[in-house]
Chains A and B, each alone.
Chain A
Amino acid sequence: MTAPHPSRDELLAMAFVDDQLDHEARAAFALRLQSEPELAREVAALQRLDLMAQHAAPAEPIDLAWQAIDSEPAQRAVLGFGWLILFAGILGMLAILVLNFAHADLPLWQKACLAGVFGGLSLIFFAILRRRLQSRPFDPYTAVKR
């Protein structure tokens, strides 16, 4: 089975990442990236590969030791369980805070102010988290190991 031929856009993206386009073609392609997210994602994936290829040094002995330890079932289970009970604890504490806050003997305006602070912070956090998650495919630098 033979691999399909790359499309013209894929070839252009490769040439863009390899810096093989002339000045005008490069500027025109860069302009397209601003309005074509699929193409921008393709370029980011190629840049990620390029970065990985630039740092294709052989693994150090300590890398192999870390990989071996991280793949041990006991290590994975302990770490996973640790994170799980940590998150459960944090969620529980948040629930206790919300319940105490709801039943606190405070004037309504004070409750409204505190709810505004925590609600606002939460909304800002989720907006930033959403931005990060959506932009992550366009960030080739996450592939850099060291």
Chain B
Amino acid sequence: MKKHLYTTDDVPGFHRTEALGLVRGSSVRARHLGRDLTAMFKNIVGGELDEYTKLMGEVREQALDRMADEARALGANAVVGVRFVSTEIATGAAEVLAYGTAVKLTPKSGTDS
């Protein structure tokens, strides 16, 4: 399932046999105070705040996995039209909502899955 997440509505080589509805997954995560302090100093001197790059990566992957789990529970084998929404709940925390449409995909005849 994890590898069958698409931002497009159609997947080349497959057709949708069933649309099972909206699925979503969200997560809010924060780094610890020590990382926030390090990032604060990096904010002064410039460059990538890799503490927050990592934070965004963690929250994105968790939201995607939760969305995929929800699709799996519905009996889907793919999610199409995947989108991300990000906002800020609290200072130093990141929230990502991933959503899409759970579908059943079947290979078109003459196509290898």
B50 neighbours in A (Cβ, 8 Å): 66, 146
Binary per-residue interface labels of chain B (61-72) against chain A in the complex, 1 for a CB within 8 Å, 0 otherwise: 110000000001
Contacts of B2 in A (CB 8 A): 19, 54
B54 contacts A62, CB within 8 Å?
Answer: no
Is residue A8 contacting chain B, with contact meaning CB distance below 8 A?
no
Query: Is B57 part of the contact surface with A, judged by Cβ < 8 Å?
Result: yes
Residues in A neighbouring B75, C-beta threshold 8 A: 23
Is there contact, CB below 8 Å, between A146 and B53? yes
Chain B residues with Cβ under 8 A from A144's Cβ?
A: 54, 57-58, 61
**Residue A142 is within 8 A (CB to CB) of chain B in the complex:** yes
| Alpha-carbon distance between A135 and B59 when the two chains are bound, in angstroms | 16
Grouping DSSP codes into helix (H, G, I), strand (E, B) and loop, the B interface class, with mixed when no group exceeds half, is helix
Chain A contributes a number of interface residues (CB within 8 A of B) equal to: 14
Interface size class of chain B, counting residues whose CB lies under 8 Å from the partner chain: 10 to 19
With A and B bound together, what is the CA distance between A55 and B50 in angstroms?
16
Contact A51/B54 with A19-B1, A62-B48 known, Cβ cut-off 8 Å = no
14 residue pairs A–B, Cβ–Cβ below 8 Å: A23-B75, A26-B72, A62-B48, A66-B50, A141-B29, A141-B58, A141-B59, A141-B62, A142-B58, A144-B54, A144-B57, A144-B58, A144-B61, A146-B57
> Residues on A close to B: CB < 8 A?
19, 23, 26, 51, 54-55, 62, 66, 83, 141-142, 144-146
Which 6 residue pairs of A and B lie closest in terms of their CB atoms, listed nearest first? A144-B57, A141-B58, A144-B58, A146-B57, A146-B53, A141-B62
